[in-house]
Structure 1
């Protein structure tokens, strides 16, 4: 979620201008959120509101229609496609489900249901399931190595989740980009290392970094404060409000807020203490660990 958004923003300027440098600049004045963030927020909104996902996706698309959506998605929005994409769109928006306090089987049913709306293909569904399954394994206490070994061979394209990846310049197909994103996170040493690996792989940089960031958040917990500041500086209030509400309800309110405020900044004040925002604690979810 926040990890996915951070990866998206960091990778945004490198999608059309790929870099193979590991020491690239994390944030520039042109770094911004793309469709990956909008659709991840749409998934959070769907979970919070329980509104129809189809309608929720269309609502958020209508608010931010120029954020780099692919032609297949635009065709689906326009009613000219049936949602059979083999791309990575379902995988990049699925991470919120892995934080819900559902049994694994129920979580996977929801992941597949939500993937089928736009990505009703074996590759599209497999990508969404792989991302959710990896995050859930990490949150259930499996280490990076065990999670990686368990996922290898899961589906076509997932035979080797090591670093560096075999696939060079992975494109928007789920079977290309999702394994690279998982490899970046599962072979990383820190949140930032996961993002740097993902972006330097080239190809569909923002989505690969978004997926890697979602997994890395589960591995390393709270994002560094400097990255949290950058997210809050770049997200409009309607997007950030959904993120805050999701963390208040299902994760940990404090995770979404930088630990200290910048001088003169009053926007990062402490989250509400109203018990309604801490519903997730009833399920034993404290800081991403059960």
Structure 2
């Protein structure tokens, strides 16, 4: 989850600005880097799943997802939401609108930390997508990202993760250099951006390199980096400067639910070293 937030914060400065980059030598720490809808909705989804963790009735979970997403959406009303989703956040009784945008994949990472097997991870990923992004591609994108995170948590190799994603979801995972050359990464649909995010993880040599590779791909950089880094945080140690930089961009309405999510992950004995560092930062602030 902190990987998703780091990717969002660092990628926010470059969204829509990178086209056919010549190198990965990007400035990662800018005064203009912010938490966008990716972070806000990631935390909203995680809090909703914590609130309903023992609940079996899908409709009740969906109602809680809507409640938490709208609650944080009201606190952060101008956070780069898509037009349709922005309207959805303000509706009294919002309905799914058949979206295949990457919003379902960007917010799903907590699912892979909270559930115990691949079947449940896919089940709850679909539930989190279904409240708004109920198009088959929107659901597929959420399941693909959540599955990749879960498989990484189970110590599967990158080759095994790649094979599963290609066979289960029928994504074509092109080399990032080919994506850049073909300029095929300009859009916000799941079918365009989610394969790119997964490929950025597969190509990266460490956490920072995954982040830089996601930025290098261009296009919707905050969301691509969010998704790529949500997988990478399982595989790699996150540099302290990146972790603390993203943490500094969060305020109390985001930190409180983040702690609630981490407390449940801790109860399940799943905090890795990266999340332990975040938990320590939260405790130091008495949050």
TM-score, scaled to structure 1 = 0.84
Output aligned runs, 1:140-219, within 5 Å. Answer: 140-155=154-169, 158-166=171-179, 168=183, 169-219=185-235
CA shift digits 1:53-76 (9 cap, x unpaired) = 111111110010101001121232
Given that residues 229 and 258 in structure 1 are in contact (C-alpha distance below 8 angstroms), is that contact kept between their aligned partners in structure 2?
A: no
Given that residues 257 and 268 in structure 1 are in contact (C-alpha distance below 8 angstroms), is that contact kept between their aligned partners in structure 2?
A: no
Q: SS at 1:228's partner residue?
A: helix
Residue 255 of structure 1: how far off its partner (Å): 3.3
Q: Which residue of 1 aligns with 2:58?
A: none
Q: Tell me, which stretches of 5 or more residues in structure 2 are unaligned?
A: 53-60
Higher RCO structure, 1 or 2 (CA under 8 Å, sep 6+)? 2
Q: Tell me, which stretches of 5 or more residues in structure 1 are unaligned?
A: 262-266, 273-290
Assess, with a 3 A threshold, how the Cα gap between structure 1 residues 99 and 161 changes in structure 2: closer, same or farther. farther
Residue 161 of structure 1: how far off its partner (Å): 4.5
Distance in 1 separating the partners of 2:132 and 2:276: 32
Given that residues 95 and 132 in structure 2 are in contact (C-alpha distance below 8 angstroms), is that contact kept between their aligned partners in structure 1?
A: no
The counterpart of 1:124, out of the listed 138, 156, 159, is 138
Residue 110 of structure 1: how far off its partner (Å): 1.1
Q: CA RMSD in A?
A: 2.3
TM-score, scaled to structure 2 = 0.85
The counterpart of 1:59, out of the listed 62, 71, 83, is 71
Q: Which residue of 2 aligns with 1:232?
A: 247
CA shift digits 1:82-141 (9 cap, x unpaired) = 421010001110110001142322222111111110100011001001001111111112
Given that residues 92 and 211 in structure 1 are in contact (C-alpha distance below 8 angstroms), is that contact kept between their aligned partners in structure 2?
A: yes
Assess, with a 3 A threshold, how the Cα gap between structure 1 residues 258 and 212 changes in structure 2: closer, same or farther. same
> How many residues are aligned here?
264
Relative to its length, the structure with more helix (as a share) is 2
1:111 aligned onto 2:135: no
Distance in 1 separating the partners of 2:155 and 2:18: 35
